[in-house]
Chains A and B, each alone.
Chain A
Amino acid sequence: MPIDSYRFLDFATRKIMQAWTARQEPGAIPFTPLARPLRECTVALVSTAGIARNDDRPFDQEGERRNPWWGDPSFREIPAGTTEKDIRIYHLHVDPRFGEADLDVVLPMRRLAELAEAGFVGRPAPTHYSTMGYILDPAELVEKTAPAIAARMREEGVDAAALVPV
C-alpha cells in the first residue's frame, strides 16, 4: 500500500486515524461475486458526505453541536438527476464547498451515467444514497441504516455499489 493514507492530514487527526486503524478487528470479510458482467450491471453510489436534498430533511448538525461525540447516523436518498443546485452538504468535518460546487466530486452520478452510455456499466440505479461520515458509535448505522439502504437497493435491482468516504 504505497499510498500514504495520512498525507493530507494534520498531526492530531493523523494520530487519531492511526489509533482507529490499529483498533479494528474485522473478522471474516463478506464477498459477493459480481452477478453478471459489469457492462450489464445496475450500479448505485453511496457517499458519506452528508448530502441532503433541499426538499428533504437536513442531517442533524445541531445534535452534533450539542453532543460532539454524536453524529447523525441516518441516510438520505439522492435520486439520479439531482445536481449541486438541489442539495447541501451537512458534514461538519469536511469542506463542503467542493461538493457544493460540483456534486460529482463526492457523488459522481453524471460520471456514472456517462460510463453507462459508453457501455462500461449497464445502467445507473434510479436512486443513490448519502450518509454522514462522522459516526463514532456505529451501532445504529450498522443495525438500521445500512440494512435499510440494502433493502432499497434490492427493490431497485441493484447488482453493484460503489461507496466513497469523504
Chain B
Amino acid sequence: MGLVQRVLEASGIATVTLSWIPELTRAVGVPRLAGIGYPSGRSFGRPHDADGQRAVLRATLQLLESASGPDAYVDLPFEWPESVAQARNASRDIPHPPIVDLLKKKPWLLPLLYTGRLPRADSLPPEEGMG
C-alpha cells in the first residue's frame, strides 16, 4: 500500500495511509502515515461502531492538513477494546492462506518469503504454476 501511496502522491494527489503495521509502511517511505494499534481486517474499528470509525477516519485525514513535509508520522491514540487473544481467536476458523499451506509442506522455501527472491511462475511444477 505504501508503494501505491507514493505513486498517487507523485502524481499530485495529497495522500495519507492509516496502517496497523506502521513500522513496515513507514519503512517503505511514505509522505504521511497514521499508525493504529488495531488488528488486521478492521483498520477503522469494530463493525457497527460508527462513532469509533469516524473518529479514526477524522484523525487520519487531519494529518493531510497538519503534515509539513514527507515522512510525517503520528501514532493515533485509539486502543483496541479486546485482548490480543480475543482478537486472534475471533479469526481462528479462517482457512490458512495458500502460501502458509505451501510452506507447511515445503518449509525449505521459507527463506524465499523472507528475502523476496520469489520463484518464477515458469519454474514451478505444473500443479503450482499459474496456468
Nearest first, the 6 A-B pairs at minimum CB distance are: A26-B29, A102-B47, A146-B7, A68-B98, A29-B70, A95-B91
B28: contacting residue among A26, A33, A46, A69, CB under 8 A: A26
Q: How many A-B residue pairs have CB under 8 A?
A: 265
Chain A 126-164 against B: per-residue CB contact (8 Å), 1 yes, 0 no? 000001011011100110011101100110001111111
Asked whether, in the complex, the Cβ of B73 is within 8 Å of the Cβ of A27, the reply is: no
17 residue pairs of the A-B complex, CB under 8 angstroms, read A5-B21, A8-B20, A8-B87, A10-B88, A20-B116, A28-B29, A31-B9, A32-B10, A48-B1, A49-B41, A98-B41, A131-B4, A134-B99, A160-B64, A163-B1, A164-B17, A164-B18
Q: How many of chain B's residues have a CB under 8 angstroms from any CB in A?
A: 87
Q: A121-B61, A161-B8 are in contact. Are A68 and B128 (CB under 8 A)?
A: yes
Q: Which residue from chain A places its CB closest to the CB of B21 in the assembled complex? A: A5
A2: contacting residue among B39, B75, B88, CB under 8 A: B75
Interface residues of A (CB under 8 A from B): 1-10, 15-17, 19-24, 26-35, 37-38, 41, 43, 46, 48-49, 63-70, 92-96, 98-99, 101-102, 104-106, 108, 110-112, 114-115, 120-121, 131, 133-134, 136-138, 141-142, 145-147, 149-150, 153-154, 158-166
User: Could you say which residues of chain A place their CB within 8 Å of the CB of B69?
Assistant: 31
Q: How far is the CB of B2 from chain A (nearest CB, A)?
A: 8
5 further A-B contacts with Cβ under 8 Å, apart from A147-B7, A153-B8, A165-B20, are: A30-B31, A31-B9, A34-B64, A106-B42, A110-B50
User: Could you say which residues of chain A place their CB within 8 Å of the CB of B35?
Assistant: 1, 3, 5
Asked whether, in the complex, the Cβ of B41 is within 8 Å of the Cβ of A21, the reply is: no
Q: Is the interface of B mostly helix, strand, loop or mixed?
A: mixed
Chain B 83-99 against A: per-residue CB contact (8 Å), 1 yes, 0 no? 01001101100110111
User: Could you say which residues of chain B place their CB within 8 Å of the CB of A164?
Assistant: 1, 17-19, 43-44
B9: contacting residue among A7, A30, A98, CB under 8 A: A30
